[in-house]
Amino acid sequence: MNGEHTDSLWTRIEPLLASVSKPARYIGGELGAQQPDHTPGKVAWLLVYPDTYEIGLPNQGLQIIYEILNERDDALAERAYAPWVDMESAMRAEAIPLFSLESHLAAVQFDVLAFNLATELIATNVLNLIDLAGVPLRSERRSELDPLVLAGGHSAFNPEPLAGFVDAFALGDGEEVVGEMNEVLARWKAAGRVSREGILRNLARIPGVYVPSLYQVSFSGGRLDAVKPRIPDAPARVIKRTIADLAEWPYPRRQLVPLTEVVHDRLNVEVFRGCSRGCRFCQAGMITRPVRERPADQVVRLVGDGLARSGYESVSLTSLSTADFSGIEDVVRTVLDDPNCAEEVSVNLPSLRVDAFTVGLATQVERGHRGGLTFAPEGGTWRMRRVLNKLIRDEDLYAAVEAAFSRGWRRVKLYFLVGLPTETDEDVLGIAELGKACVAIGRRYHPHVTVTVSVGGLVPKAHTPFQWFGQDSVEMLDHKVGLLREAVKPVRGLSLRWHDPRASVVEGLLSRGDRRVGDVIEHVWRAGGTFQEWTEHFDLGLWQDALDACGLSLHDVVHRHRAEDEALPWDHISAGLHRDFLWQDYEQAISEVELPDCRWTPCYDCGVCTGSGLEHVVASAMPPAGGSQGTGQDLPPSKVVSVAIRSVTLESSIG
């Protein structure tokens, strides 16, 4: 049993478990969990996912860093997740602080609290966990005796709303930078952890590390003027870290197997990182460029080893667009043909792209358990998909849906966005028309099929071409959802789901705000606003009250359009993309100009590859299967350039 460490809190935690929901969240000891040895020569990291165990445990980013740190001689890592409200209440009543799962040690016994910022709405949970750990909430009030508070993840690409609470952010891929940070921290710990200012300056010298306290924020006329370094050690722009070769980092090798039901409860193997499709709304696709595929034989090996070790009967091949992986059909076939795999093993392909889903792929996947398939056309009309640069024609969608229904699937989910630049009611209603057509296709093969149309409101994220666009208000989003509700109501087999527009607006506040939004987050937290990503706890009124108290408005932060030359809160953070490239792509979106995938067409000089000496790493010199790769005919003359495709080819033993 965990908790044998002399400083363990287990004897105080265990009596609480009988009175809380899902006590397995707090026990630890999962298959794959490690029992690190706490010695003075090791930097002790507490990796914290600021949501519940069932949401946080499957997170691959946290599991990768967990393994890498525990393999080092000068580091150790344990985990913590946000206790649910019943457990938190019991912990606070008994004065039990945030604790680790492996050893049940108090968070303050670690040198580092490192948060994974996977989404924006967990911001108040971050504050809550810092407080529950017994660490001063604001970084400026911490001493050498307090753990350093670090953070990383996709939401860290606009770090300003949490800048007052986090000592340092690691931007981009964490595999290499976490080791470099640990070396600096190990020297600091060996020297007696003297001078918190000194360690922060040393961390700021590491490429990809942003230390907010070393930057001065200025405002003019109530709006952001600039974020500039106040010391020479801090770079004017902090550039994300990118690992060039995913094959060198085959993690996680010991995926954690949970003690209770979790989301994505299956083996997860990352097949590639990055995306060059150029969808203008997609922050993940923009900030993770370039594409880096894992060698196919390594994918198969990770799948086989993982299934054998974990006992799972389902594996998910993960990426931003899994069907784009070179040779995906061969990989799926090889996994399913492996005599060491149980007959019941199924392969899940999330993030399926309509124009890369073929009958051949459907044939391979159907050999496993057949559940539902999700496709993401995103826009309801071809015009809107050109605005989004989601180059999927109606016939591409219909072909993919027919491939699925003809092979025996009966459930299909379609994901769309509303609140897009230049969008009209006709574009919105196009979503319902596509859904109806898909139901009709399904009924050719079975009388009872289900098509679910899922709709979310666009949140124009940092480092995307839409970062200047003003987000739709709650009222506008409600209107568009209302149109769809009426349109799908008469159609049997067609259902509509939608993301709460109120939550989308707050997500916009947290993803687009400057450092002043930190006061808003703290105000909401102090009013009891935790777990704001959970429908039953979300409260727009708390956020409106906090904005009023802090002298800010949703209009100014979220809903207004930004000028080309306006200072943006994240201008000092670089995902490698040129600002002028993003602005030009925004203008092209308004003009409905498509920009084909740069893996297979001339380089557009977005900045990622040319600025950092990186290349796409792909296993095939040919585009993936599918129709709408784009021709370049719609590009303005200035963008039709003769530049060699920046890609390298991997050798694979598959096939």
Query: 355: which DSSP letter?
Result: G
Tokens of 516: 């002043």
> Could you tell me the maximum CA-CA distance found in the chain, to the nearest angstrom?
73
Amino acid (one-letter) located at 303: V
Amino acid (one-letter) located at 191: A
CB 88 within 8 Å of CB 273: no
Do 10-232 and 266-516+552-637 agree at the fold level?
Answer: no
User: What's the mean pLDDT when you consider all of the chain?
Assistant: 90
In this predicted structure, the answer to whether residue 369 has a pLDDT above a threshold of 80 is no
In this predicted structure, the answer to whether residue 633 has a pLDDT above a threshold of 50 is no
At residue 247 the predicted structure's pLDDT band, cuts being 50, 70 and 90, is: very high
In this predicted structure, the answer to whether residue 423 has a pLDDT above a threshold of 50 is yes
Rounded distance between C-alpha atoms, residue 473 and residue 98, angstroms: 37
- In 3-state terms the chain splits into helix, strand, coil percentages (rounded to 5) of 40, 15, 45
Domain segments of the chain: what residues? Answer: 10-232, 266-516+552-637
In this predicted structure, the answer to whether residue 60 has a pLDDT above a threshold of 50 is yes
Between the alpha carbon of residue 504 and those of residues 106, 120, 473, 558, the distances in Å are 35, 10, 9, 10
CB 617 within 8 Å of CB 260: no
CB 326 within 8 Å of CB 294: no
In this predicted structure, the answer to whether residue 46 has a pLDDT above a threshold of 70 is yes
At residue 631 the predicted structure's pLDDT band, cuts being 50, 70 and 90, is: very low
Q: What is the pLDDT of residue 5?
A: 58
Q: What is the pLDDT of residue 593?
A: 95
pLDDT digits (tens, 9 = 90+) for 212-230: 999 999 999 999 999 999 9
In this predicted structure, the answer to whether residue 642 has a pLDDT above a threshold of 60 is no
Q: What percent of the chain has pLDDT over 90?
A: 79
CB 243 within 8 Å of CB 612: no
In this predicted structure, the answer to whether residue 454 has a pLDDT above a threshold of 50 is yes
Give per-residue burial for 458-497: e unless 16+ CB within 10 Å, then b.
bbbbbbbbbbbbbbbbbebbbebbebbeebbeeeebbebe
Please, which residues have CB within 8 angstroms of residue 283's CB and are 6 or more apart in sequence?
154, 157, 461, 462, 463, 464
Please, which residues have CB within 8 angstroms of residue 561's CB and are 6 or more apart in sequence?
468, 469, 470
CB 378 within 8 Å of CB 414: no
pLDDT digits (tens, 9 = 90+) for 81-98: 999 999 999 999 999 999
In 3D space, the residue among 118, 156, 152, 157 whose CA is nearest the CA of residue 462 turns out to be: 157
Between the alpha carbon of residue 611 and those of residues 60, 275, 607, the distances in Å are 28, 17, 5
Mean pLDDT for the stretch of residues 383-393: 96
At residue 367 the predicted structure's pLDDT band, cuts being 50, 70 and 90, is: low
Q: Which of 96-100, 168-172, 580-584, 628-632 has the weakest average pLDDT? A: 628-632
In this predicted structure, the answer to whether residue 476 has a pLDDT above a threshold of 70 is yes
Amino acid (one-letter) located at 613: G
Rounded distance between C-alpha atoms, residue 99 and residue 107, angstroms: 5
Rounded distance between C-alpha atoms, residue 398 and residue 471, angstroms: 30
Mean pLDDT for the stretch of residues 115-126: 97
At residue 482 the predicted structure's pLDDT band, cuts being 50, 70 and 90, is: very high
Q: Which of 2-6, 134-138, 277-281, 417-421 has the weakest average pLDDT? A: 2-6
Is beta strand 238-239 parallel, antiparallel or unpaired with respect to 292-293? Answer: unpaired
Q: What is the pLDDT of residue 83?
A: 98
Element (H, E) at 386: helix 382-388
Q: What is the pLDDT of residue 214?
A: 98
In this predicted structure, the answer to whether residue 637 has a pLDDT above a threshold of 60 is no
Q: Which of 137-141, 401-405, 444-448, 466-470 has the weakest average pLDDT? A: 401-405
Q: What percent of the chain has pLDDT over 70?
A: 90
Rounded distance between C-alpha atoms, residue 318 and residue 273, angstroms: 9
pTM above 0.85, yes or no: yes
Rounded distance between C-alpha atoms, residue 490 and residue 498, angstroms: 18
CA dihedral (603, 605, 606, 609) positive or negative: positive
CB 170 within 8 Å of CB 178: yes
Q: What is the pLDDT of residue 517?
A: 98
Please, which residues have CB within 8 angstroms of residue 127's CB and are 6 or more apart in sequence?
137, 165, 521, 522, 525
Rounded distance between C-alpha atoms, residue 7 and residue 97, angstroms: 13
At residue 638 the predicted structure's pLDDT band, cuts being 50, 70 and 90, is: very low
- Phi, psi angle pair for 224, to nearest 5°: -60, 135
At residue 612 the predicted structure's pLDDT band, cuts being 50, 70 and 90, is: confident
Mean pLDDT for the stretch of residues 547-557: 97
In 3D space, the residue among 59, 617, 623, 646 whose CA is nearest the CA of residue 298 turns out to be: 617
- Angle (CA) 167-518-220 rounded to 5° is 105
At residue 362 the predicted structure's pLDDT band, cuts being 50, 70 and 90, is: low
266-516+552-637: which CATH topology?
pyruvate-formate lyase- activating enzyme (3.80.30)
In this predicted structure, the answer to whether residue 327 has a pLDDT above a threshold of 60 is yes
Question: For the chain, first and last CA: distance in Å?
Answer: 46
Mean pLDDT for the stretch of residues 104-129: 98
Q: Name the residue with tokens 């491939």.
A: 403
* Residue 229, beta-bridge partner list: 215
Out of 304-318, 331-345, 616-630, the most confident range is 304-318
Please, which residues have CB within 8 angstroms of residue 97's CB and are 6 or more apart in sequence?
9, 91, 106, 107, 108, 132, 133, 134
Q: Which residue has the higher pLDDT, 218 or 635?
A: 218
Domain 10-232 in CATH 3.10.20.30? The answer is no
In this predicted structure, the answer to whether residue 453 has a pLDDT above a threshold of 50 is yes
Q: What is the pLDDT of residue 3?
A: 39
Q: What is the pLDDT of residue 627?
A: 38
CB 529 within 8 Å of CB 506: no
In this predicted structure, the answer to whether residue 363 has a pLDDT above a threshold of 90 is no
Please, which residues have CB within 8 angstroms of residue 503's CB and are 6 or more apart in sequence?
121, 532, 533, 535, 538, 540
Rounded distance between C-alpha atoms, residue 309 and residue 316, angstroms: 16
In this predicted structure, the answer to whether residue 199 has a pLDDT above a threshold of 60 is yes
In this predicted structure, the answer to whether residue 396 has a pLDDT above a threshold of 80 is yes
- The interaxial angle of helices 540-549 and 517-526, nearest 10 deg, is 130
Tokens of 603: 């380089």
Q: What is the 3-state secondary structure (H, E, C) of 215-237?
A: EEEEEECCEEEEEEECCCCCCCC
At residue 345 the predicted structure's pLDDT band, cuts being 50, 70 and 90, is: confident
In 3D space, the residue among 422, 457, 442 whose CA is nearest the CA of residue 587 turns out to be: 422
